[in-house]
A = this chain, B = another copy of it.
Amino acid sequence: MSPFTMDSNLHQQLMTADQISNLLAKDRQYVWHPFTQMKDYEQRDHVLIQRAEGIFLYDAWGRKYYDTVSSWWCNVHGHGHPRIKEAIHKQLHAFDHIMFSGLTHAPGITLAERLVQLAPEGLHKVFYSDNGSTAVEVALKMSFQYWQQVGNTTKTKFIYLEGSYHGDTLGAVSVGGVEQYHALFKPLLFHGYKMPAPDLRAAGGHTLADEAIVAEQALAPVRELLQLEAEQIAGIIVEPMLMGAGGMIMTPAHYLTELRKLCSAHQIHLIADEVATGFGRTGTMFACEHAGISPDILCLSKGLTAGVMPLAATLCSDTIYAAFYDDYMTQKTFFHGHSFTGNPVACAVALASLEVFEEEAVLERIQLTIRALETALHGSGLAALPYVANIRQLGLVAAFDLYEDAQRKMPFPPEKRIGAAIYEAGFEEGLILRPLGDTIYYWLPHCATPEDVSDIVSRTLRVLNKVLG
């Protein structure tokens, strides 16, 4: 399949060339795109998408692209899933948005119940918000206020990991460990403790023992800090098993199990940010399951609505909830809320998505895709390329790093912007790749078939060949 082949199912009217260039001129005139140096688009255009179906996006010229990053790690069942559309139509027939304070509604209630049933045990209360960043803000504020209200008032600081990413609101930025995104805003951030990440790339081999060594190396300074300062610390926030924006850093389960013990021993909240990893992406419903642990607070978004519309949830333990539950005049209310909290349409979509998980036995089905991905990564000649290193995978997510000399781990000069070149070349091969620096990754939707996977990897090889020879 060439990306330039018109798709036979293309039932949308294509735009005329004039309409397209008109829209793109307006894009340039009016729109400031997220995480984008707009000058990068001085000479070329953003890709104008006109249709999406399953794993494919179609641009206004009718060109077809694999959405290999699931539209920023959000999409789950493919674009335009009929069950999701149906759920939206049904909900809109009943009611659109209503306030979720003083009032309540069936989709919000039922979704909360389903989330509690599915989540790691002990997480019994659901607080909704709108996106991953706010899910994290809620978690931080909840943890902070909890300690104030149980009389442990010195516990005001948070631990976070190097290379972690938890969103772009200033609370979330304060616990972010990607210098490039956050350094500038230091004067606006609260102070926290940055600890090393247990990056599995540092493991000599792939045995559990190797993983444990990496984990213990990263745990040592945490143990030390907690010995000395646990009384100052409210919680630690981590992206369990897989640190996305920091460069698809995969981390050992051992780290999480030990961290869970440490947190319990020292009375520290373990906050699991599963905004990206939740809802099956790592092969299990939640990434915490790989380690068999429960956090005290769990942040969800992105895949929660199958990637269709904004919604987030922060789940917490009964212990935390209980510390806020008191007579109004004791002033223990959690004064947090967003206008669109518990948006009924988004909740209905999330419920439909969870039904699709059941009806289509999605978690079983993806195991095949996951194995196909493994096969493609290791059987395709990718590993033999002199500029490829650190091929890694967890569930539907895989990544590798590009080096000028992979053997000696000599990076490309940053000004070469190899990742950006791969990205551009990807479009020509019908791929939406979106490298993080020189890390190329896939973040596949659950609807990807084994055939899609091998096609995607072959196309990637062609892209690499084109750009790196």
Closest chain B CB from A255 CB (angstroms): 25
- A338: chain B residues at CB < 8 Å are 34, 131-133, 167-168, 310
Give complex CA distance A339, B135 in Å: 13
Choose among B88, B102, B129, B316 the residue that contacts A434 (Cβ–Cβ < 8 A).
Answer: B102
Hey, which bits of chain A sit against chain B, CB under 8 A?
Answer: 12, 23-24, 26-27, 29-40, 46-53, 57, 67, 69, 71-75, 79-80, 84-85, 88-89, 92, 94-106, 108-110, 112-113, 115-116, 124-134, 137, 140-141, 144-145, 148, 156, 167-172, 174, 180-182, 184-185, 187-190, 275, 301-302, 307-311, 316, 321, 324-329, 331-343, 345-346, 414-415, 417, 420, 423, 432, 434
Closest chain B CB from A302 CB (angstroms): 5
Give complex CA distance A64, B251 in Å: 53
Q: A340-B74, A345-B309 are in contact. Are A104 and B48 (CB under 8 A)?
A: yes
Q: A98-B57, A321-B32 are in contact. Are A170 and B174 (CB under 8 A)?
A: yes
- A92: chain B residues at CB < 8 Å are 80, 85, 88
- A52: chain B residues at CB < 8 Å are 94-96, 98
Closest chain B CB from A53 CB (angstroms): 8
Contact present for B174 and A310 (CB under 8 Å): no
Contact present for B103 and A57 (CB under 8 Å): yes
Interface centre among A39, A100, A109, A129 (most CB of B within 10 A): A109
- A326: chain B residues at CB < 8 Å are 37, 39
Interface centre among A89, A101, A127, A275 (most CB of B within 10 A): A101
Contact present for B308 and A31 (CB under 8 Å): no
Sample 25 A-B pairs with CB under 8 A, ordered by A number.
Answer: A26-B110, A29-B124, A34-B128, A37-B327, A39-B327, A50-B94, A50-B95, A50-B105, A50-B106, A52-B95, A52-B98, A71-B97, A71-B98, A72-B101, A79-B95, A79-B96, A79-B98, A88-B88, A129-B131, A134-B169, A140-B188, A141-B188, A144-B188, A145-B185, A156-B187
Contact present for A72 and B339 (CB under 8 Å): yes
Contact present for A132 and B308 (CB under 8 Å): no
Give complex CA distance A275, B130 in Å: 15
- A23: chain B residues at CB < 8 Å are 104, 106, 109-110
Contact present for B171 and A170 (CB under 8 Å): yes
Copies in the complex: 2
- A89: chain B residues at CB < 8 Å are 89
Of all chain B residues, the one with the shortest Cβ separation from A96 is B308
Closest chain B CB from A365 CB (angstroms): 21
- A37: chain B residues at CB < 8 Å are 324-328, 332-333
Give complex CA distance A106, B24 in Å: 9
Contact present for A126 and B96 (CB under 8 Å): no
Contact present for A39 and B336 (CB under 8 Å): no
Q: A124-B30, A340-B309 are in contact. Are A46 and B131 (CB under 8 A)?
A: no
Of all chain B residues, the one with the shortest Cβ separation from A30 is B112
Q: A97-B308, A190-B189, A310-B340 are in contact. Are A125 and B39 (CB under 8 A)?
A: no
Of all chain B residues, the one with the shortest Cβ separation from A310 is B340
Of all chain B residues, the one with the shortest Cβ separation from A104 is B46
Give complex CA distance A34, B142 in Å: 12
Give complex CA distance A85, B93 in Å: 9
- A36: chain B residues at CB < 8 Å are 101-102, 333-334, 337
